[in-house]
Amino acid sequence: MPESRAFSAVTPSAVSQPGMPVPSDRPVEFAMAAAPAIEPPTRGRSRVYGYGFRDAKPINFGKISPRKLAVHGVDVSRWQGDIDWETLRTRGANFAFIKATDGGDHLDPMFKTNWRRAKEAGIKRGAYHFFYWCRTAGEQADWFIRNVPRDPDALPPVIDVEWNGESSCKVKLSRARVLEKMQVFMEKIEQHYGKRPIIYTAPDFYADNLEGAFQNYHFWLRAVAEHPSKVYPNRKWLFWQYSGSGLSHGVEGRIDLNAFRGSEEEWHRWVAGL
């Protein structure tokens, strides 16, 4: 989910980087001073809608096409504008990962609206954080916690880790340092929300840092030209981002398309176990 339109497990200690520069290429939006209130739970299984999307740049995945998977969803940010969530759901958005925060001081201006409206439409949704390598992991976890409510119905939080060429932070940390910072962030998030975070990543970042790491975490993998089994050999995954050029009623322009790995029944069991 790059912002271009603008997991052996590791257990390192928490180390900050006070001397590193702070990115300044994104607008700053300060949110509430304390963590949002806990939202009330809902009960019962939600209906699963079949695939109803189109694609501006369709890929032939052959016999392992994502369209054969039972449960599809989307991920969104400010770039999708004002979304008609009820319509989007009926087109096949059974889940949505919603952009919440970047770094330690940026809140996606559509997060609160998308977070509320997606739930009102009956969509299972989770929030994701775009990780900055020039900010301490603790600061970023605190910022995410300040802005994302603890909702027992929500999907696990997501840490989005990738190399971002558009950021003013041009540093590329060592694999050991990357894993260390991720661990600090994820442990703090898991302690607060009571759910182990999901790791989202792209092929180049994965090859540099994540191969063989974080075996006890679920992965959400970007693979828009080939099946994840070819792009990320030997890596188990839970979600597959298979297109960045999806089209659907309910949203203007393009939208990222994703699929859950299992069957509809496996989806219901996984959600019920969160």
Residue type, 141: A
Question: How long, in residues, is the chain?
Answer: 274
> Does an H or E element contain 244, and which?
strand 239-247
Looking at residue 25, the DSSP 8-state letter turns out to be S
* pLDDT mean by block of 10 residues, the chain; 274 residues: 43 36 36 54 81 96 96 98 98 98 97 98 98 96 98 97 81 94 98 98 97 98 97 97 98 97 98 96
What the chain holds in terms of domains, given with CATH numbers, is: 56-272 (3.20.20.80)
The pLDDT assigned to 43 comes to 60
The pLDDT assigned to 39 comes to 63
Q: Residue 255: CA atoms inside 13 Å, Cβ hemisphere, count?
A: 32
User: Which token pair is 144?
Assistant: 């995410």
Which residues are catalytically annotated? Answer: 162
The pLDDT assigned to 58 comes to 95
Model confidence pLDDT, tens digit, residues 65-108? 999 999 999 999 999 999 999 999 999 999 999 999 999 999 99
Q: Residue 106: CA atoms inside 13 Å, Cβ hemisphere, count?
A: 18
Instruction: Supply the pTM of this predicted model.
Output: 0.85
The pLDDT assigned to 155 comes to 98
Question: What distance, in Å, lies between the first and last C-alpha atoms of the chain?
Answer: 24
User: Which token pair is 75?
Assistant: 């991920």
